[in-house]
Amino acid sequence: MKNFFVTCAAVLLLLTSSAKATDAEYLLNNAELNPTSTGADYCDEIVWQTLNQITTENMTTCDKVRACYDYLVDTCSYGDNVLRLDFPEDNGTARAYGMLVGHVGACDDYSCAFAALTRAIGLNCYTVYGQTARADGGYTGHIWCVIAIDGVEYVFDPQIDDNIGANVYYRFCVTYDETPGSYYDSEVRWGYFEPFY
């Protein structure tokens, strides 16, 4: 009987994951695209170099976004993004550049790199500052990404999914309602990358 319940739970998890994947595919593949550069040549160069390495023209928008997400989760690690210090201002382009070149950074850096990559694809991706749930309880300051599609904000948080590990997509194209208790008192503070509006 125990095996039956374990099997049912596994099937339910698989169906839920498949439904979320289908929703993400539909949303991202039907989103209006407006390719946007960062405006900083040094950053745009590494953004396009990375996109050319991890995507192809025949990929769908969802495939490209997933490739960007996977690239950050698979090749980057949490730590101090020292390359951003080569630039006079602590801004999103310096953080994105440092992460894409050095592959080490904090939540700010993961988010800035993801935003720069997906904005180049054409999505309305921006960074949001607020708090996220800690594994040991309570909340801590955090920066993540949102992609706005048809007036709805979808969370993308590669740093958290990298921290969780095992190629999971808990924070990939989900609404705040789908992640209850994960984000708290979030205020839209765009400091790095702002919405297109």
Q: Which domains does the chain have, with CATH numbers?
A: 2-187 (3.10.620)
- CB 181: neighbour CB atoms within 10 A? 8
What local confidence, expressed as pLDDT, does residue 16 receive? 39
133, β-bridge pairs: 139
User: Does residue 20 have a pLDDT over 60?
Assistant: no
- CB 8: neighbour CB atoms within 10 A? 10
What local confidence, expressed as pLDDT, does residue 192 receive? 82
Q: Check residues 174 and 164 and name the one with the higher pLDDT.
A: 174
In angstroms, the CA 76 to CA 61 distance is 22
Mean pLDDT estimate for the chain? 86
The proportion of the chain whose per-residue pLDDT surpasses 70, expressed as a percent, equals 84
Which of 78, 94, 104, 118 has its CA nearest to residue 40? Answer: 94
Residue 173 structure tokens: 């194209």
Q: How confident is the model at residue 86 (pLDDT cuts 50, 70, 90)?
A: confident
Q: Check residues 90 and 66 and name the one with the higher pLDDT.
A: 66
